[in-house]
């Protein structure tokens, strides 16, 4: 399921003395099956834009196409439940949304709201608890007895249990230890591949955007100023600088190596593995030339 924003503007507190625009004429098309990253500085409108993806916010101007549903400014949007079932949002610090007595019940909460039977929901919970890397006996514990990282995983399972076609992630790894971060990001990437999901990752982390995304959109002061593949986006360090963003560590490292070797590599590398291979290749060529 694809998502398309057309000329979307959004103002908070419309019609009061506190009215404030957070988005201006945003155009963004996310085709079905894309892994789309949205990056931007704090206050660039990232969190506002993501609430448009399932109708939590209605545009003040413009239209949002979610699959074949259209949510347009000025029109009443009724029955958003089907949209919300298909677009799962993992909010920042999703562990704050846990409330049930047991982990099992909490994971079942989402699917049962959408009319999934109790058995089916329980079945999903049992599968998902493994997927998010927790032992099955967690299901019978109270979510409030878990550690922060475990709670995060339970909350993520709770969103996945809705069986969404689009997953929107808002800084899903903020505050986790590096290993937990990688595990969770890898899990989402695997899911994206296996189930043919459309994934939207809202993040500060250039590294995650570089490593996982097919396309990267850059938000700056409420506008979507750039949307392209990681290679396109990271080829131009100056433009990034303008939007107060940095190149990923790995690309910066590549630039340093290039300076040392006094020659540029054939492409921009987005992962450590790629860069290692490229450097080895370049060294080999250098030796052959002698």
Q: In Å, what is the CA distance from 94 to each residue of 12, 64, 157, 194?
A: 23, 25, 10, 24
Alpha helices in the chain (DSSP H): 46-50, 81-86, 103-113, 118-131, 148-160, 178-195, 206-212, 230-235, 237-242, 249-261, 272-289
Q: Which of 5, 162, 166, 201 binds another protein (CB under 8 A)?
A: 162
CB of 55 to another protein, least distance (A): 9
In the three-class reduction of DSSP (H, G, I as helix; E, B as strand; rest coil), residue 166 is classed as strand
Interface segment toward another protein; rule CB under 8 A; list 21-29, 94-102, 131-139, 271-279: 94-102
Q: Does the protein bind another protein through residue 89 (CB under 8 A)?
A: yes
* Count of residues that interact with another protein, criterion CB under 8 A: 28
Q: Does the protein bind another protein through residue 56 (CB under 8 A)?
A: yes
CB of 51 to another protein, least distance (A): 7
Q: Does the protein bind another protein through residue 200 (CB under 8 A)?
A: no
d(CA 52, CA 66): 9
Q: Which of 1, 40, 44, 109 binds another protein (CB under 8 A)?
A: 109
Give the angle subtended at the CA of 54 by the CAs of 49 and 55, to the nearest 5°: 85
Q: In Å, what is the CA distance from 123 to each residue of 98, 105, 120?
A: 19, 12, 5
Q: Does the protein bind another protein through residue 16 (CB under 8 A)?
A: yes
Q: Which of 22, 38, 40, 91 binds another protein (CB under 8 A)?
A: 91
Nearer of residues 160 and 224 to another protein, judged by Cβ: 160
CB of 87 to another protein, least distance (A): 8
Q: Does the protein bind another protein through residue 59 (CB under 8 A)?
A: no
In the three-class reduction of DSSP (H, G, I as helix; E, B as strand; rest coil), residue 73 is classed as coil
Nearer of residues 198 and 227 to another protein, judged by Cβ: 198
Q: Which of 45, 158, 172, 248 binds another protein (CB under 8 A)?
A: 158
CB of 128 to another protein, least distance (A): 14
Q: Does the protein bind another protein through residue 97 (CB under 8 A)?
A: yes
Q: Does the protein bind another protein through residue 54 (CB under 8 A)?
A: yes
Q: Which of 36, 44, 85, 150 binds another protein (CB under 8 A)?
A: 85
As given in the structure block, the two tokens for residue 259 are 């300076």
Nearer of residues 163 and 278 to another protein, judged by Cβ: 163
Q: Are 167 and 199 in contact (CB under 8 A)?
A: yes
Alpha helices in 102-248 (DSSP H): 103-113, 118-131, 148-160, 178-195, 206-212, 230-235, 237-242
Lay out the sheet containing 198-203: strands in order across: 87-90, 166-170, 198-203, 35-40, 215-220, 223-228
d(CA 67, CA 178): 35
Interface ranges with another protein (CB under 8 A): 12-13, 16-18, 51, 54, 56, 81, 84-85, 87-89, 91, 94, 96-99, 109-110, 113-114, 144, 158-159, 162
């Amino acid at each position: 399921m694809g998502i398309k924003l057309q000329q979307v503007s959004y103002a908070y507190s419309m019609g009061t003395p506190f009215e404030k625009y957070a988005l201006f004429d945003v155009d963004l098309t996310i085709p079905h099956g894309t892994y789309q990253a949205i990056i931007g500085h704090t206050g660039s409108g990232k969190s506002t834009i993501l609430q448009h993806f399932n109708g939590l916010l209605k545009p003040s101007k413009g239209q949002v196409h979610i699959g074949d549903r259209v949510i347009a400014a000025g029109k009443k949007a009724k029955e958003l439940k089907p949209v919300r079932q298909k677009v799962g949002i993992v909010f920042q610090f999703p562990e704050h949304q846990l409330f049930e007595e047991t982990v099992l019940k909490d994971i079942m909460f989402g699917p049962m709201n959408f009319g999934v039977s109790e058995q089916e929901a329980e079945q999903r919970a049992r599968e998902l608890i493994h997927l998010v890397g927790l032992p099955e006996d967690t299901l019978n514990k109270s979510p409030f007895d878990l550690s922060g990282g475990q709670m995060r995983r339970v909350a993520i399972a709770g969103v996945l249990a809705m069986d969404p076609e689009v997953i929107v992630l808002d800084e899903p790894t903020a505050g986790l230890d590096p290993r937990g971060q990688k595990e969770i990001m890898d899990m989402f990437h695997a899911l994206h591949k296996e189930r043919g999901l459309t994934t939207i990752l809202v993040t500060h982390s250039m590294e995650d955007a570089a490593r996982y995304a097919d396309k990267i959109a850059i938000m700056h002061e409420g506008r979507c100023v750039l949307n392209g593949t990681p290679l396109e986006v990271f080829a131009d360090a100056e433009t990034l600088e303008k939007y107060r963003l940095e190149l990923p560590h790995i690309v910066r490292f590549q630039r340093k190596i290039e300076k040392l070797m006094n020659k540029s590599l054939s492409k921009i590398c987005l992962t450590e593995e790629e860069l290692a291979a490229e450097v080895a290749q370049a060294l080999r060529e250098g030796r052959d030339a002698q």
